[in-house]
């Protein structure tokens, strides 16, 4: 059966490739078309589409705000960073995601051209539109690369950027590095990438970054990883990546709605962000391998059930009462 799938063409490919991949997997045989017809003028930081007359809007932005025009237009408003105190019949928490390479270079170029002439040119973002398709190919990996690896005993890795306006995030990440470096027998690699407009972290900063495949390889090898809310308190890409990799995650508390709770001692290990709390967590995870392995398995199980692109899209389609496509439920 051929399904009618019309996509608003102005989306950021480096952010919303995740959900395009989900659509490819969840709606087999669909013919993807691009058009602004039937849509209001929407922000570029979204993926909006019409499938069998049902109108779906996905927001992966960092903030908790909701676009009123989009909310009025859609049947389902799926949001990564949803404030749990908000309530609306259309709002739907989908959990964190991350950018992926969903198309090889030549096909990505074809999609960029098709979506541009399908209406993206009307949004006056031509250069950035094509750059987004380049970024998803050049700087990300296909979804198949996000599989669990083998954790190395007594090795920890963390590499993050300093944020200009997120002092709590910067401090928590710095404290993880300090805790790792002060834990006997634990070899640490990484740091916070130095920037001129943020001071106070000279003891944990580094000057260079890694190519993304190297970052992925070292993250998969790390015995533990560290998560904390990022910009605007958001559920960042790192959390979704860590769950996909099946890592033992040490995390500060999360404040955004999730499709299901991430429980302490089941899916991850919560700390308050101080050096002492993180050092204690490192000791527990290193001294109790069965506990660490259980966290690893539960992390990947959570990703498979709730966060994998096809799982997200199937739940969104189910919410939109499109429940006979690709096993949606």
CATH, residue 265: 3.40.50.2000
Task: For residues 121 and 197, state if they share a domain.
Answer: no
DSSP, collapsed to helix, strand or coil, labels residue 329 as coil
Residues 31-42 as b/e (b if ≥16 CB within 10 A, e otherwise) read: ebebebeebeeb
Q: Say if CB 19 and CB 58 are below 8 A apart.
A: yes
The C-alpha atoms of residue 277 and residue 271 are separated, in whole angstroms, by 6
Instruction: Classify residue 289: in a domain, yes or no.
Output: yes
What pLDDT, on the 0 to 100 scale, is given for residue 326?
A: 44
What pLDDT, on the 0 to 100 scale, is given for residue 126?
A: 77
DSSP codes, 215-252: HHHHHHH-S-EEE---GGG---HHHHHHHHHT--EEE-
The C-alpha atoms of residue 162 and residue 192 are separated, in whole angstroms, by 6
Task: For residues 266 and 277, state if they share a domain.
Answer: yes
Task: For residues 229 and 201, state if they share a domain.
Answer: yes
Task: For residues 39 and 162, state if they share a domain.
Answer: no
| Predicted model pTM | 0.94
What pLDDT, on the 0 to 100 scale, is given for residue 323?
A: 53
Task: For residues 185 and 208, state if they share a domain.
Answer: yes
The C-alpha atoms of residue 247 and residue 161 are separated, in whole angstroms, by 20
Instruction: Classify residue 107: in a domain, yes or no.
Output: yes
Instruction: Classify residue 328: in a domain, yes or no.
Output: no
What H or E segment, with its residue span, contains residue 180?
A: helix 167-181
Residue 111 phi, psi (nearest 5): -60, -40
Q: What share of the chain is helix, strand, coil (3-state, %, to 5)?
A: 40, 15, 45
Task: For residues 91 and 116, state if they share a domain.
Answer: yes
Task: For residues 137 and 11, state if they share a domain.
Answer: yes
Q: How far is CA 76 from CA 42, 51, 91, 98, in A?
A: 15, 12, 6, 21
Domain boundaries, position 297: 155-307
Task: For residues 137 and 203, state if they share a domain.
Answer: no
Number of residues in the chain: 329
The C-alpha atoms of residue 11 and residue 32 are separated, in whole angstroms, by 14
What pLDDT, on the 0 to 100 scale, is given for residue 2?
A: 58
Radius of gyration in angstroms for the set of CA atoms belonging to the chain, rounded to a whole number: 20
Instruction: Classify residue 327: in a domain, yes or no.
Output: no
Task: For residues 26 and 128, state if they share a domain.
Answer: yes
What pLDDT, on the 0 to 100 scale, is given for residue 328?
A: 40
What pLDDT, on the 0 to 100 scale, is given for residue 29?
A: 81
Count CA within 13 A, CB hemisphere, residue 64. Answer: 14
Instruction: Classify residue 150: in a domain, yes or no.
Output: no
Task: For residues 120 and 215, state if they share a domain.
Answer: no
Look at the block and give the residue holding tokens 């480096």: 14
What pLDDT, on the 0 to 100 scale, is given for residue 173?
A: 97
Residue 130 phi, psi (nearest 5): -70, -35
DSSP, collapsed to helix, strand or coil, labels residue 160 as strand
Tens digits of pLDDT across the chain (329 residues): 557 899 998 888 889 999 999 999 999 888 889 999 999 988 878 999 999 889 999 999 998 889 899 999 999 999 999 887 877 889 999 999 999 998 788 787 888 888 888 877 766 677 888 888 888 888 899 999 999 999 999 999 999 999 999 999 999 999 999 999 999 999 999 999 999 999 999 999 999 889 999 999 999 999 999 999 999 899 999 999 999 999 999 999 999 999 999 999 999 999 999 999 999 999 999 999 999 999 999 999 999 999 999 999 999 999 988 654 544 43
Task: For residues 139 and 181, state if they share a domain.
Answer: no
Task: For residues 315 and 215, state if they share a domain.
Answer: no
Instruction: Classify residue 149: in a domain, yes or no.
Output: no
DSSP, collapsed to helix, strand or coil, labels residue 16 as helix
Instruction: Classify residue 33: in a domain, yes or no.
Output: yes
The C-alpha atoms of residue 107 and residue 99 are separated, in whole angstroms, by 17
As given in the structure block, the two tokens for residue 219 are 């993250």
What pLDDT, on the 0 to 100 scale, is given for residue 74?
A: 95
Residues near 39 by beta carbon (within 8 Å), at least 6 away in sequence? 8, 48, 50, 73
What pLDDT, on the 0 to 100 scale, is given for residue 161?
A: 93
In the chain, the number of structural domains is 2
Instruction: Classify residue 148: in a domain, yes or no.
Output: no
């Amino acid at each position: 059966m051929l399904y009618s799938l019309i996509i608003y063409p102005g989306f950021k490919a480096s952010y919303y490739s995740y959900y395009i991949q989900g659509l490819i997997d969840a709606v087999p045989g669909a013919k993807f078309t691009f058009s602004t017809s039937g849509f209001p003028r929407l922000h570029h930081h979204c993926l909006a589409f019409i499938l069998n007359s049902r109108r779906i809007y996905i927001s992966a932005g960092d903030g908790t705000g909701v676009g009123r025009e989009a909310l009025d237009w859609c049947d389902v408003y799926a949001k990564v960073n949803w404030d749990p105190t908000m309530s609306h019949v259309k709002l739907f928490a989908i959990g964190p995601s991350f950018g992926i390479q969903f198309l090889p270079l030549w096909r990505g170029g074809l999609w960029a051209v098709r979506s541009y002439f399908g209406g993206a040119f009307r949004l006056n973002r031509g250069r950035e539109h094509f750059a987004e398709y380049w970024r998803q190919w050049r700087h990300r990996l296909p979804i198949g690369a996000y599989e669990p690896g083998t954790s190395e005993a007594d090795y920890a890795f963390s590499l993050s950027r300093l944020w200009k306006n997120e002092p709590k995030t910067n401090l928590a990440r710095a404290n993880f590095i300090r805790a790792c470096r002060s834990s006997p027998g634990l070899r640490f690699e990484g740091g916070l990438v130095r920037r001129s407009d943020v001071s106070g972290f000279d003891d944990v900063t580094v000057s260079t970054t890694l190519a993304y495949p190297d970052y992925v390889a070292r993250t998969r090898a790390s015995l533990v990883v560290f998560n904390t809310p990022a910009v605007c308190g958001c559920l960042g890409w790192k959390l979704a990546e860590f769950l996909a990799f099946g890592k033992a995650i040490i995390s500060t508390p999360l404040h955004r709605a999730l499709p299901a709770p991430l429980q302490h001692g089941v899916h991850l290990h919560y700390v308050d962000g101080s050096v002492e709390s993180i050092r204690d967590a490192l000791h527990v995870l290193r001294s109790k391998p069965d506990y660490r392995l259980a966290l690893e398995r539960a992390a990947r199980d959570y990703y498979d059930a709730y966060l994998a692109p096809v799982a997200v899209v199937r739940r969104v389609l189910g919410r939109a009462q499109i429940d006979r496509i690709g096993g949606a439920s």
